[in-house]
Structure 1
Amino acid sequence: MNNRELAEAILKEVGGAQNIHSYANCMTRLRLQLKDESKANRTALNELAGVLGTQQQGNQFQIILGGKVLKVANEFNELVPMNNEENVGVEEKKKGGISNVLNTLSSILTPALPPIIAGGLLKGLIFMVINFGWANGNGDTIIFFNGLSDCMFYFFPFLLAVSSAKKFKTNEYMALALAGLLMYPFAIADGQQIIRIFGFVPIAVVDYSASVLPIIFSVWLLKHVKRFFDAKIPEMVNMVFSSLLSLVITAPIAMCLLAPLGYYTGEYVALGVKWLIDFSPLLSGLIIGSTRALLVLGGMHHALNPIMQQEISSFGGSQLLAMALMSTIAQATATLVIYFRAKQTEEKQVALSAVVPAYLGITEPAIYGVLIKYRGALIAGCIGGGVGAAVSNVMGGVCYGFVMPGLLSLPAFMGKGFFGIIVGMIVTIVVSAVLTFILMNRFNEKEEPEERTGKTEQTTPIDLRIGDVTIQSPVIGEIVPLESISDATFSNEILGKTIAISSLDGTIYAPFDAEVKAVFPTKHAIGLESLATGAEILIHVGLDTVTLDGKGFNLKVKQGDKIEKGQTILTFDKAKIRSNQLNDVVLVVLTNSEQFKSVDKNQRTETINLENDLFSIIR
Structure 2
Amino acid sequence: MNNQELAKKILKEVGGETNIYSFTNCVTRLRFQIKDKKKVNQQALNDIEGVLGTQFQNDQFQVILGGKVVNVSNELNELVHLSSDEKEVSQEKKSVLSHVLNTLSSILTPALPPVIAGGLLKGFIFMFLSLGWVAGDSDSIIFFNALSDAMFYFFPFLLAVSSAKIFKTNEYLALTLAGLLMYPFAITDGQEIISLFGMIPVVVVNYSSSVLPIIFSVWLLKYVKNFFDKVISEMVNMIFSPLLSLLVVGPIAMALLAPLGFYIGEYLAMGVKWLIDFSPWLAGFIVGGTRPILVLGGMHHAMNPIMQQEISSFNSSQMIAMVLMSTFAQATAALVVYVKSKDMKEKQVALSAVIPGFLGITEPAIYGVLARYKGAMIAACAGGGIGAAVSTMLGGKGYAFVMPGIISIPAFMGEGFTGILIGIVTTISVTAILTFVLMNRFNEKAESESVKKDELNQVDLNIASPAIGEIVPLNQISDVTFSKQVLGKTVGISAQEETLYAPLDAVVKAVFPTNHAIGLELEGGIELLIHVGIDTVGLEGKGFEVKVKQGDSITKGTPILSFSKEIIKSEGLSDTIILVITNTENFSSVEAIVEEGSVDLEKDLFKIKK
TM (norm. structure 2) is 0.66
- Name the residue aligned to 1:33: 16
In structure 1, C-alpha distance between the alignment counterparts of 2:547 and 2:267, rounded to whole Å: 55
Instruction: Report the Cα offset of residue 181 of structure 1.
Output: 0.6
In structure 2, C-alpha distance between the alignment counterparts of 1:124 and 1:151, rounded to whole Å: 15
In structure 1, C-alpha distance between the alignment counterparts of 2:7 and 2:391, rounded to whole Å: 46
CA spacing shift, 1:175–1:419, aligned 2, 3 Å: same
In structure 2, C-alpha distance between the alignment counterparts of 1:348 and 1:194, rounded to whole Å: 63
Q: Please say if residues 33 and 59 of structure 1, whose CA atoms lie closer than 8 Å, have aligned partners that are also in contact.
A: no
In structure 2, C-alpha distance between the alignment counterparts of 1:389 and 1:32, rounded to whole Å: 42
- Name the residue aligned to 2:548: 590
CA spacing shift, 1:60–1:375, aligned 2, 3 Å: closer
Q: Please say if residues 338 and 351 of structure 2, whose CA atoms lie closer than 8 Å, have aligned partners that are also in contact.
A: yes
Question: Residue 12 in 1 paired to residue 5 in 2?
Answer: yes
CA spacing shift, 1:64–1:314, aligned 2, 3 Å: closer
Deviation string, structure 1 residues 470-507 (Cα, Å, up to 9, x no partner): xxxxxxxxxxxxxxxxxx9344254699xxxxxxxxxx
In structure 1, C-alpha distance between the alignment counterparts of 2:88 and 2:247, rounded to whole Å: 35
Instruction: Report the Cα offset of residue 15 of structure 1.
Output: 2.3
- Name the residue aligned to 1:221: 220
- Name the residue aligned to 1:76: 63
In structure 2, C-alpha distance between the alignment counterparts of 1:58 and 1:414, rounded to whole Å: 46
CA spacing shift, 1:600–1:206, aligned 2, 3 Å: closer
- Structure 1: gaps (5+ residues): 24-29, 38-56, 457-487, 498-586, 605-617
Instruction: Report the Cα offset of residue 600 of structure 1.
Output: 8.8
Bigger CA drift: 107-116 or 211-220? Answer: 107-116
Q: Please say if residues 515 and 546 of structure 2, whose CA atoms lie closer than 8 Å, have aligned partners that are also in contact.
A: no
Q: Please say if residues 398 and 413 of structure 1, whose CA atoms lie closer than 8 Å, have aligned partners that are also in contact.
A: yes
In structure 2, C-alpha distance between the alignment counterparts of 1:241 and 1:403, rounded to whole Å: 42
Instruction: Report the Cα offset of residue 199 of structure 1.
Output: 2.3
The amino acid across from 1:12 in the alignment is E
3-state SS, counterpart of residue 15 of structure 2: strand
- Name the residue aligned to 2:159: 160
Instruction: State, as a whole percentage, how many aligned pairs show the same letter.
Output: 58
2:512 corresponds to which of 465, 470, 489: 489
3-state SS, counterpart of residue 110 of structure 1: helix
Question: Residue 599 in 1 paired to residue 582 in 2?
Answer: no
Map 1:356-375; keep pairs closer than 5 Å.
Answer: 356-375=355-374
Instruction: Report the Cα offset of residue 448 of structure 1.
Output: 3.2
3-state SS, counterpart of residue 400 of structure 2: coil
Map 1:139-150; keep pairs closer than 5 Å.
Answer: 139-150=138-149
3-state SS, counterpart of residue 446 of structure 1: helix
Map 1:270-349; keep pairs closer than 5 Å.
Answer: 270-349=269-348
Bigger CA drift: 587-596 or 201-210? Answer: 587-596
- Structure 2: gaps (5+ residues): 21-35, 56-61, 457-510, 521-544, 565-600, 602-610
Q: Please say if residues 546 and 561 of structure 2, whose CA atoms lie closer than 8 Å, have aligned partners that are also in contact.
A: no
- Name the residue aligned to 1:517: none
3-state SS, counterpart of residue 207 of structure 1: coil
In structure 2, C-alpha distance between the alignment counterparts of 1:58 and 1:415, rounded to whole Å: 48
Q: Please say if residues 66 and 495 of structure 1, whose CA atoms lie closer than 8 Å, have aligned partners that are also in contact.
A: no
Instruction: Report the Cα offset of residue 279 of structure 1.
Output: 0.9
Deviation string, structure 1 residues 272-314 (Cα, Å, up to 9, x no partner): 1100111111111111100111111111111111111111111
- Name the residue aligned to 2:465: none
In structure 2, C-alpha distance between the alignment counterparts of 1:394 and 1:254, rounded to whole Å: 40
Q: Please say if residues 331 and 358 of structure 2, whose CA atoms lie closer than 8 Å, have aligned partners that are also in contact.
A: yes
3-state SS, counterpart of residue 361 of structure 2: coil
CA spacing shift, 1:494–1:400, aligned 2, 3 Å: same
CA spacing shift, 1:338–1:125, aligned 2, 3 Å: same
Instruction: Report the Cα offset of residue 196 of structure 1.
Output: 2.0
Q: Please say if residues 326 and 424 of structure 1, whose CA atoms lie closer than 8 Å, have aligned partners that are also in contact.
A: yes
In structure 2, C-alpha distance between the alignment counterparts of 1:404 and 1:194, rounded to whole Å: 38
Instruction: Report the Cα offset of residue 72 of structure 1.
Output: 5.0
CA spacing shift, 1:135–1:88, aligned 2, 3 Å: farther
Instruction: Report the Cα offset of residue 400 of structure 1.
Output: 0.6
Q: Please say if residues 336 and 435 of structure 2, whose CA atoms lie closer than 8 Å, have aligned partners that are also in contact.
A: yes
3-state SS, counterpart of residue 76 of structure 1: strand
CA spacing shift, 1:599–1:145, aligned 2, 3 Å: closer
Instruction: Report the Cα offset of residue 437 of structure 1.
Output: 0.4
Instruction: Report the Cα offset of residue 150 of structure 1.
Output: 1.5
Deviation string, structure 1 residues 103-162 (Cα, Å, up to 9, x no partner): 211111111111111111111111111111222223333222222212211111111111
Instruction: Report the Cα offset of residue 35 of structure 1.
Output: 4.8
- Name the residue aligned to 1:446: 446
3-state SS, counterpart of residue 447 of structure 1: helix
- Name the residue aligned to 2:391: 392
In structure 2, C-alpha distance between the alignment counterparts of 1:220 and 1:201, rounded to whole Å: 21
3-state SS, counterpart of residue 202 of structure 1: strand
Q: How many residues align?
A: 452
Q: Please say if residues 126 and 411 of structure 2, whose CA atoms lie closer than 8 Å, have aligned partners that are also in contact.
A: yes
CA spacing shift, 1:455–1:140, aligned 2, 3 Å: closer
CA spacing shift, 1:127–1:85, aligned 2, 3 Å: farther
In structure 2, C-alpha distance between the alignment counterparts of 1:281 and 1:113, rounded to whole Å: 28
In structure 2, C-alpha distance between the alignment counterparts of 1:491 and 1:307, rounded to whole Å: 50
Q: Please say if residues 157 and 178 of structure 2, whose CA atoms lie closer than 8 Å, have aligned partners that are also in contact.
A: yes
3-state SS, counterpart of residue 372 of structure 2: coil
In structure 1, C-alpha distance between the alignment counterparts of 2:239 and 2:214, rounded to whole Å: 23
Instruction: Report the Cα offset of residue 31 of structure 1.
Output: 4.6
3-state SS, counterpart of residue 276 of structure 1: helix
Instruction: Report the Cα offset of residue 328 of structure 1.
Output: 0.2
In structure 1, C-alpha distance between the alignment counterparts of 2:307 and 2:326, rounded to whole Å: 15
The amino acid across from 1:125 in the alignment is F
Q: Please say if residues 496 and 589 of structure 1, whose CA atoms lie closer than 8 Å, have aligned partners that are also in contact.
A: no
Q: Please say if residues 331 and 358 of structure 1, whose CA atoms lie closer than 8 Å, have aligned partners that are also in contact.
A: yes
In structure 2, C-alpha distance between the alignment counterparts of 1:210 and 1:105, rounded to whole Å: 15
In structure 2, C-alpha distance between the alignment counterparts of 1:345 and 1:259, rounded to whole Å: 56
In structure 1, C-alpha distance between the alignment counterparts of 2:37 and 2:101, rounded to whole Å: 32
The amino acid across from 2:407 in the alignment is L
The amino acid across from 2:133 in the alignment is W
Q: Please say if residues 116 and 402 of structure 2, whose CA atoms lie closer than 8 Å, have aligned partners that are also in contact.
A: yes
Instruction: Report the Cα offset of residue 395 of structure 1.
Output: 1.0
In structure 1, C-alpha distance between the alignment counterparts of 2:88 and 2:236, rounded to whole Å: 36
The amino acid across from 1:73 in the alignment is T
TM (norm. structure 1) is 0.66
The amino acid across from 1:447 in the alignment is E
